[in-house]
Structure 1
């Protein structure tokens, strides 16, 4: 089982909270805060780009 290091939750308006994580192999993870066992996996850079766009207001409807 891969060990994931989770960052502190990021919460947008309306209590939409998610967490980012990484593992030792450089994979990136994203999950709804409190549901980390049900995460999405992609490259760290792909998820970083997604989160930057969400934080910039380009995709907050996804939350």
Structure 2
């Protein structure tokens, strides 16, 4: 199993906390904090773009 290095949780007021992780092969992961075993996997660039869109207010309903 690939070892994932998780960053500190990102928590917005009134929302769930999410964590972003990466592995040694450059894959990126996102999970609800405390449920890292149930993560989504994609490329780092895809997750980066998703987060930028959420922060820009284009997809705040996803949180």
TM-score of the alignment, normalized to the shorter chain, above 0.5: yes
How far residue 9 of structure 1 moved from its aligned partner, in angstroms, is 0.6
Mean Cα displacement is larger for which, 6-15 or 18-27?
Answer: 6-15
Alignment of 1:55 onto 2:62: no
- State the TM-score, normalizing by the size of structure 2: 0.91
For 1:1-63, list aligned pairs within 5 A.
1-63=1-63
Contiguous gaps of at least 5 residues in structure 2? none
Give the RMSD, CA atoms, in angstroms.
0.9
Mean Cα displacement is larger for which, 21-30 or 11-20?
Answer: 11-20
Deviations 1:15-54 (A, max 9, x none): 3210100000000000001100000000010001111111
